[in-house]
Structure 1
Amino acid sequence: MIMKKVLLFGSFFMGLALSTFAQEAANEPVTDEDLTQYATVEVMTSLYVEDKTDELRNMILNNEVIDGGARYNEIKAAWGDDAKLTEANVTDEEKAAYQAILDFQNSLQQSVVDYKTNLITDSDVISVSVYNKVLAAIKGDPSVKEKLDSMILTIKEEKDAERAAAKEDGEN
C-alpha cells in the first residue's frame, strides 16, 4: 500500500514537473527504443520502491529496541496519545526507535521522486526529451500505453528473475 502510494505520487510529480517539455516532444513519433528506455525507468523506479519498502519492513521487524512487528503495531496504535503510550509501557528508547522508523517512512516519497528525477535528468537511461515524448504519446494514444505496459511487464519479469538468481547465488 505504501509502495503504491509512493510510486503513484512519484509518477504524478514527474508528470507535472516535466509536462512543459512534453508539448514540444509530442510531435515526434515514439520509437520502440524510446518506449524501452521509458519502461526501463519505470521498472528501475519500481525496483527502487521495492528495495526501500523492504528496508522499511526490515527496520520494523529487526529493530532491537522495538523487538518486532507486534510491538511496532502496539506503539503505532498508541502514537500521539501520551496516555496510551504510558498504558502500553512505551519506553523512551522505543519512542526514539519508532520515530526513526517514521522519519525513514516519511522520507520515502521524496526519495523516490529524487531517484526518478535523477534517472531522467542525470543518467544514460533516458533523456528528458525522450521521457516527455513518451509521456505525451501514452496520454494521447491508448495503443502506445498498452505497448508500454507490456514492455514494462517483460522488463520487470527479467529484472525479478535476475534479482532472484543473484539472491540465490548469495545464499549459496
Structure 2
Amino acid sequence: MMKKLLLSALFLSFFGMVSYAQEATEGAVTDEELTQYATVEVMTSQFVDQKTEELRNMILNNEVIDGGARYNEIKAAWGDDAKMTEANITEEEKAAYQAILDFQGSLQQSVVDYKTNLITDSDVISVSVYNKVLGALKEDPSVKEKLDSLIEELKQEASEGEEDGSAEAAEDGK
C-alpha cells in the first residue's frame, strides 16, 4: 500500500514537471527513447523498493519499539492520550515512533527528488525525451503496451543480475 501511495504521488507530481517543460517534440518515439524512459521507471521502482525496505527494517529492527506487534499497538493508540496511557507507551517509544513517521513522511519527496534528478541531471534521459515519451503514452495505447513490456523485461534482467551476483557472492564465501 505504501508503495502504491508513493507511486501515485510521484505520478501526480510529474504532471507539474511536464507542464513546465512542455516542448513540442515531433516524430514517433524511438526504441532508444522508450528504453531510456523505461530505465527511469525501473530505477525509480527500485528506489521505491529500497526505501520501502528501509522503512520496514526501521520498524522491525527498532531497538526501542520491539518489533511489528508493538509498532502496531503504538500506531493504533497514536494521537489518543487515553489509549497511549493504556498501552503504556513510553517517551522513548513515542520518540522512536515519531522518527519512523518522519521518515515515512519524507519518502514521497525523496522519490520525487530521485526521479526528478534522473530526468534533469543525469545521462539516463533528457527532459525533452521524457516529455516526448510521456506525450506519446497519453496519445497511443500501443506505446504504453510496448513500454510496459520493456519495463518488465528490464526488471527481469535486473532481478536475474541480482540472483547471479548473490550466487557469485555465495561461491566466493565458500
Letter matched to residue 130 of structure 1? V
Residues 107-139 of structure 1: per-residue CA shift (max 9 Å, x gap): 000000000000000000000000000000010
Alignment correspondent of 2:126 = 127
Looking at structure 1, the residues matched to 146 and 124 of structure 2 have their Cα atoms a distance apart, in angstroms, of 19
Alignment correspondent of 2:16 = 16
Runs of 4+, deviation exceeding 6 Å: none
Task: List runs of 5+ in structure 1 lacking aligned partners.
Answer: none
> Quick check: 1:23–1:136 contact (8 Å CA) kept in 2?
no
Superposition TM-score, scaled by structure 2 size? 0.93
Looking at structure 2, the residues matched to 168 and 81 of structure 1 have their Cα atoms a distance apart, in angstroms, of 49
Q: Write out aligned runs for 1:161-172 (5 A).
A: 161-170=160-169, 172=173
> Quick check: 2:119–2:127 contact (8 Å CA) kept in 1?
yes
Alignment correspondent of 1:142 = 141
Q: Write out aligned runs for 1:49-88 (5 A).
A: 49-88=48-87
Q: Does 1:99 align with 2:98?
A: yes
Residues 47-105 of structure 1: per-residue CA shift (max 9 Å, x gap): 00000000000000000100100000000000001111110000000000000000000
Letter matched to residue 35 of structure 1? L
Measured after TM superposition, the shift of residue 157 of structure 1 is 1.1
Alignment correspondent of 2:43 = 44
Q: 1:53 to 1:140 in 2, by over 3 A?
A: same
> Quick check: 1:43–1:156 contact (8 Å CA) kept in 2?
yes
Looking at structure 2, the residues matched to 130 and 65 of structure 1 have their Cα atoms a distance apart, in angstroms, of 47
The number of residues matched between the two structures is 171
> Quick check: 1:37–1:125 contact (8 Å CA) kept in 2?
yes
Measured after TM superposition, the shift of residue 166 of structure 1 is 3.0
Looking at structure 1, the residues matched to 103 and 84 of structure 2 have their Cα atoms a distance apart, in angstroms, of 21
Letter matched to residue 149 of structure 1? D
Secondary structure at the counterpart of residue 36 of structure 1: helix
RMSD: 1.4
Measured after TM superposition, the shift of residue 22 of structure 1 is 3.8
Task: List runs of 5+ in structure 2 lacking aligned partners.
Answer: none
Superposition TM-score, scaled by structure 1 size? 0.94
